Structure 1
Amino acid sequence: MNNVKELNKWANTHTYFTLDLVRIALGVFLFVKGVYFITNIPYLVDLISPIDNIGGGMFLIHYITPAHLIGGIMIAFGLLTRWAIIAQLPILIGAVLVNFMGEMHSESLLLALATLAICLFFLFYGSGKHSADYYFKMYQ
Structure 2
Amino acid sequence: MNLIEKIEYWGDTHHPRWLDFLRIVLGIVIFLKGGTFLADTESLRQLIEVSNLRIYTWGAVHYVAFSHLVGGILIAIGLVTRVAVAFQLPILFGAVFFVNITRGLTVLNSELWISIVVLILLLVFFIVGSGPYSLDHQLRTRKG
Normalised by the length of structure 1, the TM-score is 0.90
Give RMSD over aligned pairs.
1.7
Shift of 1:85: 0.5
1:94-105 mapped onto 2 (5 Å cutoff): 94-96=94-96, 97-101=98-102, 103-104=103-104
Structure 2 counterpart of 1:16, one-letter code? P
Match of 1:127 among 125, 130, 135: 130
Structure 2 counterpart of 1:115, one-letter code? V
1:69 alignment counterpart: 69
8 Å contact 1:7–1:126 — kept in the other structure? no
The alignment status of 1:55 with 2:55, answered yes or no, reads: yes
Identity %: 37
8 Å contact 2:24–2:76 — kept in the other structure? yes
1:95-135 residue CA offsets vs partner (Å, 9 max, x unmatched):
0121234x447211111111000000111111111111111
Q: 4+ residue runs of structure 1 moved beyond 6 angstroms?
A: none
Compare 108-117 and 6-15 and name the one that shifted more.
6-15
The alignment status of 1:91 with 2:91, answered yes or no, reads: yes
Shift of 1:45: 1.5
Q: Distance in 2 between matches of 1:75 and 1:35?
A: 15
1:78 alignment counterpart: 78
Which ranges of structure 1 fall in alignment gaps of 5 or more residues? none
Normalised by the length of structure 2, the TM-score is 0.87
Change (3 A) 1:53 1:134: closer
